[in-house]
Amino acid sequence: MQNYEIPRNYKGEGRILYIFSTKGLIYTCVGAGIGLIFYLIFKILGFSMIGLLITIIFASIGFAIGTLKVPETANLEITKKTGGENIDDVIMRWIKFKKNGKKIYVYKPEEETKDGK
């Protein structure tokens, strides 16, 4: 009798509390931290429920940025180019694009000509 190893599904092993990946948890905490600033301001003004709601919205935005991917659809120009990539990667590339004066550097290997040069 032979032994067969059953392949193990490693997807999701790096998850915390089942829904949070490490990157998603970090982005959620950053979003919640920004929201807590608004919570403290609204708590001082006596609108603590509005501040709590803003904190939850910012935490949700952080979770979405850290976890979700850009959908692949052919309807919009941006989704044709970035479909399937993480949202945070797209945002970081956009920031670098704006920072470099709207220049993109593409490194392409030289093509050989017919004469071998």
Q: What is the pLDDT of residues 45-76, one digit of tens each?
A: 999 999 999 999 999 999 999 888 887 877 77
Could you tell me the pLDDT band of residue 24, with boundaries at 50, 70 and 90? Answer: confident
7-46 as b/e: b if 16+ CB within 10 A: eeeeeeeeeeeeebeeebbebbebbbebbbebbeebeeee
Task: Report pTM.
Answer: 0.66
